[in-house]
Amino acid sequence: MRSLIVSKKTIMLISILLLSGLFVCSDILAYDFTDWYHGASGYEDALDEVIEAEKPLILYFHREDCKWCEKLESEYFASDKMDQFITNIPRVEISSAKEAAEKALYNKYGVTRVPAFFVLIPSIDSTKPAKRISPFINGKHKTTDAFVDAIKNRITYKYNNKGYTLFKNKQYEEAIKYYEMSLNFDSRNVYAYYAMGLVYHTIGYNQKDPDLFEKAEENFSKALEIDPNHQESLKGLDNLRKGKIQ
């Protein structure tokens, strides 16, 4: 009889420990927004940080009773891959639309449902409405790697597009700056290397500077190391070696 009583006590103790473990796991899985800016006032502070430095900005609308928000935070935000990528990007979380200032941000970004995740570069973004990025598309879930790549691609596209505009306006040094900023977020961005090769080729041609031709060749070659079949870089390198300007 005594052994039976002990067994019941043991079972109760194990049950308590298991339940405690569940609560601890729940706490661990809850995403920590400590390193984020918060609310509308945080949004203004984040703008102060990013505009002059021309940094990207992450803007995330969510609420506590949203299962898809919880999934996004626990499965994607909390991943090592995501954490490493966004650690140096200013981030703002907005968890309520009750206050007028927060509601104005919901309206500004056209948010009618959550989660809503945006990646902006406020200093260079056009007047077009911001487009959200989501790992949940048509019932299919992207991997964490694919979601991080989508964020990375949005940032590099914006920098590359700015660089291209400056190049077309013959603001060559400024164009190079934005291509380099693009490479800071994706060191394997083929287009950025190709575009810098094109810029250096153009400047070198105008200034008859062989050192700039070397930089052009270096960048075309880096693009081709990443993608040996990149046709624009192949053409750029061929034109460079033939002494032609593209």
The answer to whether the peptide bond before residue 115 is cis (omega within 30 degrees of 0) is yes
Q: Which residue has the tokens 């090769």?
A: 197
pLDDT at 7 (0 to 100) = 55
- Rounded average pLDDT per 10-residue block, the chain, 246 residues: 49 46 48 94 97 97 94 95 95 94 96 96 85 89 96 97 97 98 98 98 95 97 98 96 78
pTM as predicted: 0.85
Contact 109, 133 (CB under 8 A): no
CA–CA distance, 27 with 35 (Å, rounded to integer)? 17
Instruction: List, as one string, the DSSP characters of 118-145.
Output: EEE-TTT--SSPPPB--SEETTEE--HH
Q: Determine the pLDDT at residue 9.
A: 53
Coil, helix or strand for 116?
Answer: strand
Q: CB–CB of 206/198 below 8 Å?
A: no
195 residue type, one letter:
A
208 torsion bin: left (phi>0), alpha (psi -120 to 50), beta (else): left
Instruction: Tell me how many degrees the CA angle 70-71-75 measures, rounded to the nearest 5.
Output: 120
Contact 93, 62 (CB under 8 A): yes
As a whole number of angstroms, the distance between CA 103 and CA 101 comes to: 5
User: Parallel, antiparallel, or unpaired for β 57-61 and 116-120?
Assistant: antiparallel
CA torsion angle 88 225 143 110 (round to 10): 60
Please give the pLDDT value at position 19.
46
pLDDT at 226: 98
Query: Letter for the amino acid at 4?
Result: L
Is the CB of residue 202 less than 8 Å from the CB of residue 173? no
Domains along the chain with CATH numbers: 37-142 (3.40.30.10), 161-242 (1.25.40.10)
